[in-house]
Amino acid sequence: MALYANLFTPITVGNMSVKNRIFMPPVSTHLADEEGRVTEALLAYYEERARGGVGLITVPSMLIEKLSRYGTYRNLCLYESWHVENLKKLTDRVHLHGAKICAQLLHPAMACPPAYNDGRQPVAASPVEGKSYPDIPRELTVAEIKDYVKKFGNAARLAKLAGFDAIELHCCHKHGLLGNFLSPLHNKRTDDYGGNVQGRLRFALEVVAEIRKQTGSDFPIIVRMSATDAQPGGQTIMEGMYIAHKFEEAGVSMIHLSNGSFDIPYLTTGPVGTPQGFNADLAAKIKSVLHIPLGLVGRINEAWVGEMLLGQNVCDAVYMGRALVCDPDFPTKAAEERECEIRPCIGCLRCLHAANNDLPFVCAMNPEAGHELELTGIRNAADGRRLLVMGGGPAGLTAAAYAAGKGYNVTLMERASHLGGQ
């Protein structure tokens, strides 16, 4: 732990004490059922990450109303009373292992396709299309905005009742409702909710105030925001600094910093070849105006990268998404200085491709990801049972090593005079 002292220093966010500074950002899995219920597969997936030693897990895209499905029918939901007991199964399971859990509250706005919403037109700040979501949205009325403020507050109240330790407001990447209002590229309103940065920020600040009203003054509110839109005419870094500062003034407990938008996906989810910690320069500027913790996301996929960012005071917590999909035991292995055993995320984006196309969740490097429940029997096979593996190519070698690690007495047979296939 001495090698990574910063990573494994506890941190306080609002009234929430987190055991270390490795946070898991919202990574969509679509493991809920079509009624928005927790499934055993979803419980197994998150329990595996909690067991692996992560400090905080953020559960993605929890919908605040029934008519806002997000690219699938399998979203978790926070708008009716029965969701509380449903989700308590998840929070209890994560808490068993000493991790904290956060509910990300989302209205997907432009990313709420008619195909998943009975043909309804998406809603947004203004009737402006996006490259990734070509359906022209309908502009919200002021009365509807006020109604959504209440819905966000109700969702936060239900999250607290369900045992979540914090909530996160999705205010980034332009496609969620709050982030859509923040962007000058999509908010063309001429009323109190548009125009300059104060007007574009009004909706989000009213939501924060309502959440405070419904959950109390000390319940942690995390805001996930973009430092910039990274596009001409979009939100600038100076506006990002102002927005973060205003969120702190409004009582937000922490900023979770991302950058860019759905129109530039390589900035929101860095592919292979992307520099590690590529949002660090932006984070330093945002952090300079804050007194609350700042969490940073963006290709932080090795322990030394997170340790350096924390040590240089670039941020106060590091969000590792795909790294924890790839190896849920990443924190434990880093704490025990077993870095050579950490399964590396290669940035292939197969997990993102699966989520965006409503396909079964998958990780190229970790075949267990999303399938933890199916493998329970294999995990419990440490009784010396014999297993024969035919073929010593990459698949056979992997199967043999995996089974041996789970307790099988393995015999590997290969016809050729060498292992490794072609």
> Which tens digit of pLDDT belongs to each residue from 191-246?
999 999 999 999 999 999 999 999 999 999 999 999 999 999 999 999 999 999 99
337 — alpha (psi -120 to 50), left (phi > 0) or beta?
left
CA–CA distance, 165 with 87 (Å, rounded to integer): 12
Q: Which backbone phi and psi does 8 adopt, to 5 degrees?
A: -110, 25
What is the rounded (10 degree) CA torsion for 76, 78, 84, 87? 20
> Considering the entire predicted model, what is its pTM?
0.94
Contact 260, 228 (CB under 8 A): yes
Q: Would you state the pLDDT for residue 374?
A: 86
Q: Would you state the pLDDT for residue 106?
A: 97
DSSP letter, residue 59 = E
CA–CA distance, 72 with 81 (Å, rounded to integer): 22
Burial class of residue 142 (count of CB atoms within 10 Å of its CB; 0-12, 13-18, 19+): exposed
Q: Give the residue among 35, 16, 49 at the shortest CA–CA distance from 319.
A: 49
Residue labelled with tokens 């004490």:
17
Residue labelled with tokens 């073929």:
391
Six-digit token string for 130: 């996006």
Contact 211, 178 (CB under 8 A): no
Q: Give the residue among 366, 105, 364, 137 at the shortest CA–CA distance from 220.
A: 105
Q: Would you state the pLDDT for residue 56?
A: 98
Residue labelled with tokens 């953020």:
58
In this structure, the strands spanning 138-139 and 166-171 are: unpaired
CA terminus-to-terminus distance, the chain: 41
Q: Would you state the pLDDT for residue 164?
A: 98
- Which positions of the chain have pLDDT values less than 50? none
Q: Would you state the pLDDT for residue 320?
A: 98
Amino acid, res. 13: V
CA–CA distance, 377 with 383 (Å, rounded to integer): 12
